[in-house]
Amino acid sequence: MLQAYKYRMYPSRGQVPLLMQHIHACRFVYNHSLEQKIRAYEQDGQKLSCFDLNNRLPALKEEHPWLKEVNSQSLQIANKNLDNAFTRFFREKKGFPLFKSKKNPVQSFQVPQHYAVNFGRHQIKLPKIGEIRTIFHRMFSGKMKSATVSVTSTGTWFVSILVDDGNPAPAPAPFSSKTTLGIDVGLTDFATLSTGEKVGNPRNLRKSLGRLKCLQRRLSRKKKGSKNRQKAIRKLARCHEKVANQRNDFLHNLSFRVVSENQAIAVESLNVSGMQKNHNLALSIGDASWSTFFTMLEYKCRKYGKTLLAIGRFDPSSKICHQCGHLKRDLTLSDREWVCPDCGTHHDRDINAAINIKKFALQEQNLVGVAGAERAIEPVDLPQ
């Protein structure tokens, strides 16, 4: 089973330029190869493979001698990443590969092999760079695959090591209605569980907007190219990084707790990108990071042998009474509570939706019968 281990690196002042040189070189090769592929297809109808791009690297190094100072395998893996990007584009029919910018908040390069890890001395040795002090806060065992070195906009360095421990992925554990949890995500409360528990939305970005606006105004007053402007950029980047770290910490803790306590988790597949087109709610939806939360649930379920169930985005989970199955068609987004006209049950909109998400997912698995009225299929009320 493959697993990545991420560690903090502390390169010396002399090693930082070497690391940045590798980042710039890999970005340069990636953009050059992308240009060559586009030009070859437009002019000659020729499709350049990864093998063809790697064969052009020696000539590119003669044209740009500074590329010879970089690990050759890191340049080759840049072409491999480009080839994989085109494969995903043709397979999924979206996301044409774009040119990489040096202004991206996270820059990285890969080292496929010939690197060494020393846990005792807390060092990692990279080719053509040397030994770098690294904090190994946890050990690993297995065959080391590729290593990815990255730097954030605040100048923080990390290395992510992909390890194959040789063990197969655990088989999903059997689950039932009692060991399945339904989750309904929202903005007022980040998540509502089918058990009735509500997890509050931390709103990390909202709480930091005042500080971010202040730092952004200070940055706009600085002269371009000055050292004070660079200091203001770093302060702004540190504030953004703090918000991202707070959000990731919350999502990791919640997803790990949910996966650990249940054998199966049922969620609703949402069109988050479409919902963010509503400019009144785009900031709040982005701050909640529902897609990141679902991604964490997916890989943690796969890692710990749990099952992730997903229902369709058009299933009316909020409009159906989970007791009798009555469909309340006139329910609007502003109705947070409602009473079923058939059985008289008082519903909290979010708790009712979480219970229905669990029921719908189990019905698709043929674990529970369809109770009450026929399950209706109609679009739910999305933010407009």
Q: How many CA atoms, within 13 angstroms, populate the side-chain half-sphere of residue 257?
A: 10
Q: Report the chain's C-alpha Rg in angstroms.
A: 25
Residue 35 Rama label (left phi>0; alpha psi -120 to 50; beta) = alpha
Nearest-angstrom CA–CA distance, 322 and 330: 17
- Is 350 assigned a catalytic role? yes
Gap between the terminal Cα atoms of the chain: 43
Q: Cβ neighbours of residue 332 under 8 Å, at least 6 residues apart?
A: 381
Catalytic hit among 63, 241, 268, 374: 268
| Active-site residue flag, 131 | no
Helix runs in the chain, H state only: 15-44, 50-55, 57-63, 72-92, 204-221, 227-261, 272-275, 282-288, 290-304, 349-364
Catalytic residue among 63, 83, 184, 241: 184
Residue of 312, 331, 310, 309 whose CA lies nearest to 320: 331
Running DSSP on this structure, what letter comes out for residue 365?
T
Closest CA to 98 of 38, 26, 52, 42: 38
Which residue among the candidates 83, 287, 315, 350 is catalytic per the annotation? 350
Q: Cα dist. 268→84, 153, 284, 310, 358 in Å?
A: 29, 34, 19, 5, 9
User: In sequence order, what are the residues at sequence separation of 6 or more whose Cβ sits closer than 8 angstroms to the Cβ of residue 146?
Assistant: 77, 110, 111, 112, 113, 162
The rounded distance, in Å, linking the Cα atoms of 53 and 97 is 16
Q: CA–CA separation, 374 vs 325, rounded Å?
A: 7
Q: What is the 3-state secondary structure (H, E, C) of 279-330?
A: CCCHHHHHHHCHHHHHHHHHHHHHHHCCEEEEECCCCCCCCECCCCCCECCC
Active site residue 184: yes
Tally of CB atoms within 10 A around 51 = 9
The residues annotated as belonging to the active site are 184, 268, 350
